[in-house]
Amino acid sequence: MPKRGKKYQDAMKALEKNKLYEVEEAVKVLKELPTANFDETVELHAKLGVDSRHADQQVRGAVVLPHGTGKTKRVLVFAKGEKATEAEKAGADYVGAEDMVEKIQKENWFDFDVVVATPDMMGVVGRLGRVLGPKGLMPNPKSGTVTFEIDKAVEEIKAGKVEYRLDKTNILHVPVGKKSFEEEKLQENLKALLDAVAKAKPAASKGQYFKSVTLTSTMGPGIKINPAKVM
């Protein structure tokens, strides 16, 4: 186990051992912890009481955080004609079709954070499944990235839309802002995300839905939030 730095050790001392914090309290404590020499990303990690191996227990979706994530996402849109024009007007960073597939395949080009496609372009995008899939970049209707409402999709992503999806251990890892954000803004972002995840609870999920909820910054320790208080 690598030795943690002094700032991390000091941060650990500031946390009450085994304490489960309320959302507002967790944000307050996070803001008070020693800060790294860069603006850390604040993330939520939530373990859910579901089994993602079953199709009826998948938890996946997207939510627009009221105050964004503090990072502007680069958007690649697969569209043609009128829809391509819409994408450009809405602020997409890159717009194309087969030419973009070729660029990714031949140049190993990945200067984008989100991929959006019109439904009629999914046959073309499908050729990139093996490279986009493992990176979590494949467009998906559940997250609103396969749509004919291209302008709306691009605008929402630029405004701070985040996707959430379970990993293999049934945990969500989602950015909710930057450590420099005001307390209130981080709280509102966090609550918007938790509300969205709560509403996405599958009918097949039995027992406790939020098993554990942790708030953390890039270099900081995890602050445990009381899972019973987030629904």
CATH architecture of 6-68+161-229: 2-Layer Sandwich (3.30)
**Selection from 168, 141, 143, 186 nearest residue 42 by Cα:** 186
Contact between 75 and 84 (Cβ < 8 Å)? no
**Each residue of 169-213: pLDDT tens digit?**
999 999 999 999 999 999 999 999 999 999 999 999 888 999 999
pLDDT of residue 206: 86
Q: Which residue has the tokens 């943690």?
A: 4
Q: Which ranges of 114-182 would DSSP assign to H, the alpha helix?
A: 122-125, 129-132, 150-159
Q: Is the pTM of this model over 0.85?
A: no
Q: Does domain 75-158 have CATH number 3.40.50.790?
A: yes
CA distance 75 to 154: 7
CA distance 54 to 162: 24
CA distance 28 to 5: 22
Q: Which ranges of 91-182 would DSSP assign to H, the alpha helix?
A: 98-107, 122-125, 129-132, 150-159
For the chain, the structural domain boundaries read: 6-68+161-229, 75-158
11: pLDDT strictly greater than 70: no
pLDDT of residue 1: 39
**Each residue of 146-171: pLDDT tens digit?**
999 999 999 999 999 998 999 989 99
Burial class (CB in 10 A: 0-12, 13-18, 19+), 177: buried
